[in-house]
Amino acid sequence: MCALVEPRALRAGGRLLALAFVAVLAGVAFLTVGAKGDWGFVLSLRGGKLAGMVLVGVAIAVSTVLFQTVTRNRLLTPSVMGFDALYVALQTAIVFAFGAHGLAGIDPQLRFLLHVLLMLVVTGALFHGLIARTRGDLHLLLLSGVVFGLFCRSLTGFMQRVLDPNEFAVLQGLVFARFNTIEVTLLPVAGAALLAVLPLVWRLAPALDVLALGRDVAIGVGLDHDRIQRRTVALAAILVCVSTALVGPVLFLGILVSNLAYRLLASERHRDTLPAAALIAVTVLIGGQTLMERVVGLDIPLGVVIDFVGGGVFLLLLMRSQRE
Amino acid sequence: MIEIEGLSMDRDGVRVLDDVSLQIPDRSLTMLIGPNGAGKSTLLGLIARLLRPSAGHVRVDGLDVFRAASDAVARKLAILRQENHILPQLTVEELVGFGRYPHSRGRLAAEDRRQIADALHRANIAALAGRRLFELSGGQRQRAFLAMVLAQDTPYLLLDEPLNNLDPRQAISMMQVLRRAVTDLGKSIVMVVHDVNCASFYGDRIVAMNAGRLVAMGSPKDIVVPSTLRMIYGVDMSVHEVGGARIVQPFS
Ligand SMILES: Nc1ncnc2c1ncn2[C@@H]1O[C@H](COP(=O)(O)OP(=O)(O)OP(=O)(O)O)[C@@H](O)[C@H]1O
Ligand SMILES: [Mg+2]
């Protein structure tokens, strides 16, 4: 019997190695393609960007897989459920309440931690109840998420309109990060947050495998279901903070990479699917950026392209799930 | 022993379980019968702490299931639900391995592997151990989930329509496995069935429900009589004695 398990583990390991190799290739290409002049300068400039994209890719991929396991639904991402809209709304609300200058006075790293804390409080209060109440009902959950996201976005829009132009300008600098202008000042603290979260996620992985079996089976085999669920949502929320702080909301990258990972690994184990999704996300981001910047030379922001492709995949999956 | 005391539950404002008190003795195979919507699954779900009661207690060997740590309860009782969520890429063997979670916390030791192999064998699904769940037929899936519950190796088993989707041969072999689990291994099993003959033939005891209440309880000889069956199901069935067991002829 055991003999049946081992080759599969090996196969998953092989595929992860291959994915890692491709991700490293993309990284090397990003650092070197079209580089002229002073290598030290080029590498340090591009290195920061590269680090940012790695952080963002890992954070988006892992938060999406966590989220999909909690909701038992592979069409959802934290962004579809309005998590990153909430993050932006919280930031705006702080500027709104305390003024941009008060906010700008705080060290950006500290400010980030403050936002993480706020996110944890709000998502902890909101989403656990929401997931419990819409149990199993995809459409209700999706709808609640979309409405919640819209609500956060219009709240953000409203507050921004009411702000005076100076404050708005400061806010814009704070919350409208993009792939092309990654918030490099936040790299250390975002990196630290990611490094703190990932081991926790890894340790949680066997429990996540059980969580994915459904509430009844999970409780049946003795999982402390609600606690694990709350913990998972909290970890996902921190990861959303990491990616949103660095590059702003990215709607569909998570769906793209998580579903690719499930497909490629053909495994339900989180110790397979989590790293696979992370590696694919990093490859897509870095590879895409290399292509856009260096090869095609187009000035379309990468986020737009990713949301376009990812949105297509989302629609495709949605239509297929309708047919089944 | 499982002690159920004054158990009630409201769902959407409707009382679906009404003041049920019942004791499940050790080393017994209890058959839970009753019409659709009678509250059988609700009762099993409550005993297994998957649902919260509006009132009442459940104790398993003195352990209050609603208060005790979930994993302590999971080493006492295992439950098979009427319907299960399928993770498509999971293999049968991986699924059965989750039955060991309360003992292994996800790290399978030699004893766990032995139990998994044994459960696969007893549920007659060992030949398909490496298959993924999406590649299985309904009855094969049912056996895979049964194997998971068996692998949990608990003194009490709650099985909600375990014979669903099983062909006659698989159903008989499953009932023999369950019977032996009670007689040889000293387990206690509560299972829901709609097949009165199965309940009559294999059960030590039959508990009948209707509209959220217990309406009859006793040995198969006491329960499988036309008047009682009429009270439970509201339909006439003729009862025959075949080889010492009572058999009903349902279609008239
Ligand atoms: N999730 C739910 N929410 C609200 N009511 C429910 C829910 N599940 C079951 N019910 C109701 O509770 C009552 C008892 O249902 P239960 O599933 O326990 O019946 P059952 O005896 O197992 O029936 P069956 O033989 O069809 O499986 C039914 O009237 C049903 O409509
Ligand atoms: Mg039922």
What pLDDT sits at residue A182?
A: 72
Burial state string for A8-25 with b = 16 or more CB within 10 A and e = fewer than 16: beeebeebbeebbeebee
Q: How far is CA A152 from CA A86, A87, A235, A245, B185, in A?
A: 6, 9, 21, 16, 58
Q: What is residue A299's predicted lDDT score, i.e. its pLDDT?
A: 67
Q: Output the pTM of the full model.
A: 0.88
φ, ψ at A85 (rounded to 5°): -60, -40
Put simply, the answer to whether B98 touches A209 (Cβ < 8 Å) is yes
Which among A5, A206, A222 has CB closest to B102? A222
Can you list the domains of chain B with their CATH numbers?
2-76+154-250 (3.40.50.300), 84-153 (no CATH)
Q: Which domain holds residue A243?
A: 52-250
Q: Which residues of chain A are within 8 Å of residue B50 when distances are taken between CB atoms?
A: 215-216, 219-220
Domain assignment present for A65: yes
For residue A180, being part of any structural domain is answered with yes
List the single range of A12-16, A298-302, B61-65, B228-232 with lowest mean pLDDT.
A298-302
- pLDDT one-digit tens code per residue, A24-68: 999 988 888 877 777 777 777 788 888 888 999 999 999 999 989
Confidence class for position A1, pLDDT limits 50, 70, 90: very low
Residue A278 lies in a domain: no
Q: How many CA atoms lie within 13 A of A50 on its CB side?
A: 18
Interface predicted TM-score (ipTM): 0.91
Give me the pLDDT at residue B66, please. Answer: 93
Q: What is the CATH number of the domain that holds A191?
A: 1.10.3470.10
Tell me which amino acid residue A30 is: F
Residue A42 lies in a domain: no
- The answer to whether B71 contacts A216, with C-beta atoms less than 8 Å apart, is no
Looking at per-residue confidence, does A98 or A300 come out higher? A98
pLDDT band at A104 (very low <50, low <70, confident <90, very high): low
- Domain annotation covers residue A277: no
Strand ranges across the sheet with B14-24: B14-24, B2-11, B55-60, B63-64
Residue A258 inside a domain? The answer is no
CB B210 less than 6 A from any atom of ligand 1: no
Give the A window 110-129 contacts with B, CB below 8 Å.
none
In this predicted structure, what is the pLDDT of residue A109? 81
CA B226, chain centre distance (Å): 25
pLDDT (average), residues A147-175? 77
Pocket test for ligand 1, best of B12, B42, B233 (most atoms within 8 A of CB): B42
Q: What is the DSSP string of B183-225?
A: HTT--EEEEE-S-HHHHHHH-SEEEEEETTEEEEEE-HHHHSS
Q: Interhelix angle for A270-290 vs A39-71, to 10°?
A: 140
- Specify the number of domains making up chain A: 1
| Inter-chain touch A221–B84, beta carbons under 8 Å | no
Distance CA B46, CA A132 (A): 18
C-alpha of residue B41 to centroid of ligand 1, in Å = 7
CB B237 within 8 A of CB B226: yes
Query: Which structure tokens are listed for A120?
Result: 């944890």
SS3 content of chain A, % helix, strand, coil (to 5): 80, 0, 15
pLDDT beneath 50, residues of chain B: none
- C-alpha A270/C-alpha A137 separation (Å) is 23
In a domain, A206, yes or no: yes
Q: Residues of chain A with pLDDT > 90: what percent? A: 25
CB contact under 8 A, A1 and B99: no
CA of A278 to the centre of ligand 2 (A): 41
- Higher-pLDDT residue of A216 and A305 is A216
Q: Are A42 and A35 in contact (CB under 8 A)?
A: yes
- The answer, for B81 touching chain A at a CB cutoff of 8 Å, is yes
A235 CA → ligand 1 middle, Å: 35
In this structure, of A77-86, A120-129, A164-173, B134-143, the range with the lowest mean pLDDT score is A164-173
**Of A203, A171, A204, A194, which is closest to residue A240 (Cα–Cα)?**
A194
* Residues in contact with A122: Cβ distance below 8 Å, sequence separation at least 6, in sequence order: A86, A90
Euclidean distance between CA atoms B126 and A26, whole angstroms: 44
Cβ–Cβ under 8 Å, residues B71 and A222: yes
* Residue A228 domain flag: yes
Q: What is the pLDDT of residues B115-155, one digit of tens each?
A: 999 999 999 899 999 999 988 999 999 999 999 999 999 99
DSSP conformation class of A295: I
Best mutation target, A216, A225, A317, to test chain B (most B CBs within 10 A):
A216
The pLDDT of residue B18 is: 93
